[in-house]
Structure 1
Amino acid sequence: MASKFESSIQRGCDFIHDFSCSPCEENGFNTEADHYCTQCTKYYCQNCVLKHDVLYQKHAVLGRKDVKKWEAAPGAVDALERCGMHPGEALKLVCADHDQLCCHVCVAVDHRQCSKIHPIPDVAKGIQRNIEFQQIPKKIAELEKQFELMKEARMKNTTSLKKTRAAISDELKTIRKKINDIIDKIERATLQDVDGIIAKLEKNIKKDIETCDKMTIELQNMIAAVQTKSKSSESKSYIAYRKSQDMISRANDHLRGISVIECYNVTFQANNLIEELLSAVKTFGAIEEQTVMTKQRKDPLFDPNHVFSVAEYKKYNVKMSDDKGECDILGICELPSGEFVIADWNNCKVKLLDKEYRVLDHCDVPEYQRDVCHIDGNEVAVCVDSGYADRRGLYFINATKGKLVYTSKLSFTHRCYAAAHHGGQLYISSGNALYVYTMSGQKVKMLYEDKFGGMTVRKCGISNDGKTIYITNSGKHKLITLDNKGNKLDLLTDPDMKHPTGVHVTPAGHVFVCCKDSNTVLQVDKDGKKKLATLARKEDGLNLPQELFFSSRTSSLIVGGWNGTLLVIKLI
């Protein structure tokens, strides 16, 4: 098995260049071009350009810094005819097996095993008389018209949003006036209380002043009487003496009664509850963004907030007669054709299934294949975490007419547990870190790392817009949510989330997780904050689930684990 793969790898190891040296190519060599001659309209490597410059000293030769001018130069490959994978090469062939346009580099590298490779001139005969070809301008015009109508609708939408803003502003002013009126009423009531208390105290003060005036007059009269009587008989003096004593005693009583109160005062203790209540309120009301979906988008598949329920469970046996043991399915993905590719770890096989989950073909791979992800078209990538470093890596396989064909391999310096493909980049899990690579195998960055707690980065799922990444942390029984810069947004734990393994995100943003030790399949909200539903348990047929995939075509979750069967959960 190893020797077969070694020979396949050797055949697939040709270098792919955007621009190949024209003289080298004519002599059967594949050399990257460093120069372009605008007069010769040919590409040259560093060696060949020296010979060219000797013969054609006056030719204008462009270097790599002017590579954009290469493509625009006369004689360069026209943009329409340029290969998307190899921009320096012209599209000259068609692979009928893959229904793809190809340049000669595509054929040499990716379509060696294909049996139906045709020159474009042969396939193109009569195309201009083809009705579909003749209708292309009309179809494009209709699409342009639809985009213009959509643009107009969006511009009207912008105007309506501005009107909404003005209406909300007017409503806020009305609310503010009501609040001001309430506060004015409270202020008036408070001042009325103050006025009532002060009026009462002023009345007491007035009474005390009147008592003081009255006693002063009486005391003055008494003094005058005593002084007059002191010059008359002793009897009259005695009477004046006794009355003055009574007057003095009564005056002291009044004075003591008044002097008990030093002064009258009013204090104010603010009611802080009003301020606290207002401080706790952040806005005058809830502001919510609303996205009105078109009628066809009201399907649960397109509603990111829809919580699914289960319609039925079905089991499908994927064990082959020559399997050495029970199937342990660690990877599942779906092809555009509706066929499925699964990675059977225990039997060292990648299996191709039809739409009814019947095994069509298999491809032997080195031991310990951990995951499989869809790349593009009929191409998938299988993660192999072999104990042998030379076998470890990402194996690319094409599914063509019910057959699996190995094409190429990428190797890494770290472990290779799981892979995801998004936006032309590969996301590779090493078990405790998540790396980002280009499709050619160049490392872009390490996005996230957690070295503590066993298998901290098991698998990852990526939202359709690429802004949110979900990671299953099996060792700590958590689902980690990151942004696309690697910043941790949230983490989720739940009694039903024991040893989470697989995670899958649908195009609409639904998030599904399967958990090995708790034997559960969960739906999680798109923010990764809470569990929305437990969709399956052991009694429903789960047996140590390792991976899951949601098929929008059938609205079904396909769950793989350790029992030789797939559990297909029909959701509604």
Structure 2
Amino acid sequence: MSMASDVIHDFVCSPCQEEKLNTEAKYFCRDCSKYYCDQCLTFHSKILKQHAVLGYEDVDKWGGRGDTLISCDLHPRKVIELLCEDHAEMCCQLCVSLKHRMCRSISLISDVAKGIHKMADFKQLPSKVAQVITGLNEVREVRKKNQCSLKISGKSMLTKIKDLRKKLNQLLDELEKKTVEQMNIILAYLDDTLQKDIDSCTHIYDQLKALMDTIQAQDKDDEPSSYIGFRKCEKKMSEAKSLLQALSTKPELTATFKPETTITQLLSDFNILGNIQENLEIQIGHELSENKSSKQTINCRVFKTENKSTFNVKIRPDTDVCAIVGITELPTGEIILADKGNDRVKVLNRDYKVIAQCDVPIEPQDICHITGNQVAVAVNWPADVTHEVHFLSVAAGTITMTRKFSVDHDCMSIRHHGDQLYVGSITALYIYTKAGKQVKKILENRSEKQTVINFALNQDGNKIYICNYYEPELLTTDMNGSILATLSDPDISSACGVHVSEDGHVFVCSWHNNTVVQVDQEGKKKLATLVREGDGNYYLRAAWYSPHTGKLVVGGDQDDILVMDLR
């Protein structure tokens, strides 16, 4: 049977194929890796009696040492016998009948393979394969080591994640501790107030009862003694009635806990504790960073103002014009003002109405938020050498002083960062613990001019913006006091207030020019003048950008504050 036959066999006898005959193979020799028909097997068995020959009943075991080499990839039970030069594909008989019937150049592998062992490419094949195998082994080993390093990185990242969780737990424990301390202070204060009223009632009660017992024990014939007792009793009853009237007008003292919802909201905004980067480094974010990669991005947004409004913050006890020297905000949205003109700290609700006030013994100079509902006030009066930091707490619609500490220098401005207090004198800047221990002096100018009248810190705490009152300039320094930038501009003449928002925007108040300007984060150029003298505010001292409302609140030496939308 010639190769021209259309009969397609699963296996073709190898010797017959060499003679260009298409004979079905019924046996396979594992040692020869060849297929045999009945006739060729007889000759094979006579010469190679020791070879292992498999019959058709063991066709699943056919293959031997060369089977995978010569088997067709598309039809594994077929042998590669032909080469389609049109498609540069090696084929079995089935491939040709199905896919290459119309191809013009079909050759026998046995023909094109002649002289293969003498070809240079074939001779170089072992070295080339060895080179590729070496490369594969090297890459495999590198990837195995990479697998190991990934496991180590995973353990390291897991440790960092657990460390972060411990740190968060510690912070929450500390917040709970401070909240309980604040609660105890407020409860103690309220309890002391109630106890004073109880003691007053008890004291008059005991006096009245003792007088009546004495009068009733007197001899009825002793009229002078009875008269004296009568008059004393009337006087004491008058005192008792006055006390009862005073106490009856006092409201019931209550204390409630208002959860800090921003903490829950902040945590709920995060889906995970950090991002797993492809470089295998874990970056903890809102360190979460001090998230944060966004903290490294300079925010260059230039604001414009619109919808300007004024709100009167003068209250009935005020005897002088308000002088708003400091502004801050609680996490719950209440605005806190330091009113130097009336020696008061005032709490405003979201409608900018005064809802609580606390008298400060001597002129407040500045104010800053500490944590939760606690603020700190810088108090200064050189005449009687009073330089103090007062801590005030806002709760249940009231604001009360909880404690204070003294410093041995002027106390003109104050900021809180990293659980430390930064206190500015007229010419120097100091760091204190919240307990009142001085940590260090950052910088000092001995020119006796008001070179550090006010200052602010950026969110990372590595830049300080300082108002130089006697020069139309804003200084930017690092934490060692080294000057990074000096901005001179007519619109910041007599600068006496500077504020850095949560987003890093810098605002500077000019007392002389009645302006508020926005400055770039590098402290090198003015971006915009947001408030001018014609806006109706005079002798501006303080500005605050509210992250809750997107409004800029400005105060100065007058009874109104200016509030405007920024866009």
| 1:347-399 alpha-carbon deviations (Å, 9 max, x no partner) | 11111111111011111112221111111100011111023556430111000
In structure 1, runs of 5+ residues without a counterpart are 1-78, 92-99, 117-135, 159-291
Q: Structure 2 vs 1, CA of residues 115 and 568 (structure 1 numbering), >3 Å: closer, same or farther?
A: farther
Which deviations, in whole Å up to 9, do the C-alpha atoms of 1:173-228 show, x marking residues without a partner?
xxxxxxxxxxxxxxxxxxxxxxxxxxxxxxxxxxxxxxxxxxxxxxxxxxxxxxxx
The alpha-carbon distance between structure 1 residues 458 and 339, as it changes in their structure 2 partners (threshold 3 A), is same
**Cα distance change of structure 1 residues 81 and 490 upon mapping to structure 2, 3 Å threshold:** closer
Decide which of 462, 465, 469 is 1:467's aligned counterpart.
462
Query: 2:180 — aligned with what?
Result: 102
CA distance in 1, matches of 2:505, 2:268: 35
**1:385, 1:101 → 2: CA distance?**
29
For residue 314 of structure 1, what is the amino acid of its counterpart? S
Q: Does 1:112 align with 2:194?
A: no
In structure 2, what residue type is equivalent to 1:146?
A: I
1:542 deviation in Å?
Answer: 2.1
Q: CA deviation at 1:312?
A: 2.1
Task: Give me the whole-angstrom Cα distance separating, in 2, the residues matched to 1:140 and 1:530.
Answer: 36
Q: Which residue of 2 aligns with 1:313?
A: 308
The percentage of aligned residue pairs carrying the same residue is: 36
Matching residue within 320, 341, 344 for 2:339: 344
Q: 2:324 aligns with which of 310, 321, 329?
A: 329
- Residue 206 of structure 2 corresponds to none
| 3-state SS of paired residue (1:84) | helix
In the alignment, which residue of structure 1 is the partner of 2:400?
A: 405
1:146 matches 2:272: yes
* Structure 2: runs of 5+ lacking an equivalent: 1-168, 193-263, 284-290
Give 2:540's aligned residue: 545
CA–CA distance in structure 2, aligned partners of residues 424 and 293 of structure 1: 19
When residues 556 and 108 of structure 1 are mapped into structure 2, their CA distance, relative to the original with a 3 A threshold, is closer
Q: Distance in 2 between matches of 1:540 and 1:81?
A: 44
State the AA in 1 paired with 2:499: H
Q: Is the 8 A contact 2:472 2:493 kept in 1?
A: yes
Q: Secondary structure at the match of 2:276?
A: helix
- Cα distance in 2 between the residues matched to 1:153 and 1:567: 49
Contact kept? 1:428, 1:437, Cα under 8 Å? yes
> Does residue 1:378 correspond to 2:402, yes or no?
no
Q: Distance in 2 between matches of 1:330 and 1:101?
A: 28
Say if 2:511 is the partner of 1:508: no
What secondary structure sits across from 1:338 in the alignment?
coil
Answer yes or no: is the 8 Å Cα contact 2:382–2:410 preserved in 1: no
Q: Check whether the contact 1:83–1:102 (CA below 8 A) recurs between aligned residues.
A: no
1:467–1:114 CA distance, 2 compared to 1 (3 A): farther
What is the CA-CA distance between 1:540 and the residue it aligns to? 1.1
**Matches of 2:314 and 2:171, distance apart in 1:** 46
Tell me the secondary structure at the aligned position of residue 356 of structure 1.
coil
Instruction: Find the aligned partners of 1:303 and 1:421 in 2 and give their Cα distance.
Output: 22
In the TM superposition, residue 413 of structure 1 has moved relative to its aligned partner by 0.4
In 1, are the aligned partners of 2:472 and 2:490 still within 8 Å (CA)?
no
Instruction: Say if 1:420 and 1:156 are closer, same or farther in 2 by CA, change over 3 A.
Output: closer
Alignment of 1:1-400 (within 5 A): 84=174, 102=180, 112-113=188-189, 146-147=272-273, 150-152=275-277, 155=280, 304-387=299-382, 389=384, 391-400=386-395
Choose from 435, 439, 447 the match for 2:434. Answer: 439
How far, CA to CA, are the matches of 1:372 and 1:477 in structure 2? 24
Change (3 A) 1:406 1:333: same
The total of aligned residue pairs comes to 319
1:508 CA displacement = 1.9
Calculate the aligned-residue CA RMSD, in Å.
3.4
**Deviation sequence 1:8-40 (CA, Å, 0-9, x none):** xxxxxxxxxxxxxxxxxxxxxxxxxxxxxxxxx
CA distance in 2, matches of 1:560, 1:147: 40
Matched residues in 2 for 1:485 and 1:308: separation? 31
TM-score w.r.t. length of structure 2:
0.52
User: Partners of 1:142 and 1:356 in 2: how far apart?
Assistant: 27
Q: Deviations over 1:66-116 (max 9, x none)?
A: xxxxxxxxxxxxx9799638xxxx96xxxxxxxx7536xx66556523679
Alpha-carbon distance between aligned partners in 2 of 1:365 and 1:157, rounded to the nearest angstrom: 48
Inter-partner Cα distance in structure 2 for 1:142 and 1:339: 23
Provide the C-alpha distance between the structure 2 equivalents of 1:115 and 1:390, rounded to a whole number of angstroms.
Answer: 33
- The structure that has the greater radius of gyration is 2
Return the alpha-carbon distance in structure 2 between the equivalents of residues 427 and 418 of structure 1: 8
Deviation at 1:554, TM superposition (A): 1.1
Partners of 1:453 and 1:475 within 8 A in 2: no
Q: Which residue of 2 aligns with 1:456?
A: 451
Aligned partner letter, 1:84: E
The answer on whether the counterparts of 1:453 and 1:476 sit within 8 Å (CA) in structure 2 is: no
Q: What amino acid is the match of 1:306?
A: R
The structure whose RCO (Cα within 8 Å, separation 6+) is larger is: 1
Q: What TM-score do the two structures reach when normalised by structure 1?
A: 0.51
Counterpart residue identity of residue 302, structure 2: V
Q: Deviations over 1:535-564 (max 9, x none)?
A: 110111221101111101111111100110
Contact 1:431-1:457 at 8 Å conserved across structures: yes
- Counterpart-to-counterpart distance in 1, 2:267 and 2:542: 41
CA distance 1:140–1:304, change in 2 (3 Å): closer
Q: CA distance change for structure 1 residues 140 and 352 in 2, over 3 Å: closer, same or farther?
A: closer
- CA deviations 1:220-242 (Å, max 9, x no partner) are xxxxxxxxxxxxxxxxxxxxxxx
Kept in 2: contact 1:385–1:415 (CA 8 A): yes
Contact map agreement 2:457 2:464 (CA 8 A) in 1: yes
Q: Which residue of 2 aligns with 1:76?
A: none
